[in-house]
Amino acid sequence: MTPEEFATAMESLDEDALDYVASDWIINARDDQLAPRGPWRIWLFLGGRGAGKTRAGAEWIAQGVSERSMQRIGLIGATFNDARAVMIEGVSGLKAASPSAEFAPSLHRVTWPSGAQATVLSADEPDGIRGHQFDAIWADEFAKWENPQAALDMALMSLRIGAHPRLAITTTPRNIAPLWDLLTSSDVVVTRARTADNRANLAPGFLETMKRRYAGSRLGRQELDAEIIEDNDAALWRRAWIDDTRVRVAPQLARIVVAVDPPASAGGDACGIVVAGRVENDGDAYILADLSSDGLTPGQWSARVADAFAHYEADLVIAEANQGGDMVRAVLTEQLPHLPLTLVHATRA
What confidence tens digit (pLDDT) does each residue in 40-76 have? 999 999 999 999 999 999 999 999 999 999 999 999 9
pLDDT in tens, 291-322: 998 888 888 889 999 999 999 999 999 999 87
Helices of type H across the chain = 3-11, 15-23, 25-28, 53-66, 80-82, 94-97, 148-158, 177-183, 206-214, 218-223, 239-244, 298-311, 325-335
pLDDT for 97: 94
pLDDT for 254: 93
pLDDT for 115: 96
pLDDT for 268: 60
Distances (CA, A) of 227 to 53, 61, 149, 198, 244: 15, 26, 20, 16, 22
- In 3-state terms, the chain is what percent helix, strand and coil (to 5)? 40, 20, 40
CB atoms within 10 A of CB 98: 21
pLDDT for 69: 94
pTM, rounded to two decimals: 0.68
Residue 79: which residues within 8 A CB-CB, separation 6 or more?
122, 123, 124
Using the Cα atoms of residue 86, residue 90, residue 91 and residue 93 in order, give the sign of their dihedral. positive
Asked if residue 144 lies in contact with residue 105, where contact means CB atoms within 8 angstroms, the answer is no
Parts of the chain with a pLDDT under 50: none
